[in-house]
Amino acid sequence: MDCLFCKIGNGEIPAKKIFEDDKVMAFLDIHPQSNGHILIILKKHVKDFMDLDEEDLVHIHKIAQKMTKLLEEKLHITGLSLTTNYLDLQEIKHYHLHLIPRKAGKIKDISEIYDILKQ
C-alpha cells in the first residue's frame, strides 16, 4: 500500500510529531491553515471515519482533547475547529482529524511552532 499517512505513522517519512502512542500519531500539518494546525492519524490504515470502530473513535477524540489543551497552553488559542473530510473532500484516503486553531495572526514556520509546542 502506498499511503502517505501509513508511511508517516510507521516512521518511513518524517513528521513534526507532537504526540505518539501505540494507536495514533499527532503531528503538524505541513500546509497549515493556522499556527498549530495538527493532524491526528491512526497508525493502522482506516480509509475514512465511516470505517472507524468505536474504540478508535473515542481514543482519537481523547488525544484531540489533550492536543487542544496543549494548544491553549502554548499558543494561547482562542478557538479551534475539528475537521474530518469525507468522500471527494478527502485528499488522502486514510482517516485523519484536523485540529485547526482559530486565532488571528500571520502563519509562522512550522519549525517555530514545533519548538513552541515541544517546550
pLDDT of 94 > 90? The answer is no
Instruction: Return the amino acid letter for 70.
Output: L
Q: Between vectors from CA 55 to CA 7 and to CA 99, what angle results, nearest 5°?
A: 60
Enzyme catalytic residues: 96
pTM of the model: 0.89
Q: Check residue 30 and give its pLDDT.
A: 92
Taking alpha carbons only, the member of 28, 2, 31 closest to residue 14 is: 28
Q: Check residue 1 and give its pLDDT.
A: 66
pLDDT of 105 > 70? The answer is no
For every residue of 18-34, DSSP letters joined together read EEE-SSEEEEE-SS-SS
Query: And the C-alpha cell for 79?
Result: 478557538
End-to-end CA distance of the chain: 35
Query: And the C-alpha cell for 81?
Result: 475547529
pLDDT of 44 > 70? The answer is yes
Please give the domain boundaries of the chain with CATH numbers for all domains.
4-118 (3.30.428.10)
Taking alpha carbons only, the member of 6, 9, 2, 5 closest to residue 24 is: 9
Q: Report residue 28's pLDDT band, with 50, 70 and 90 as the boundaries.
A: very high
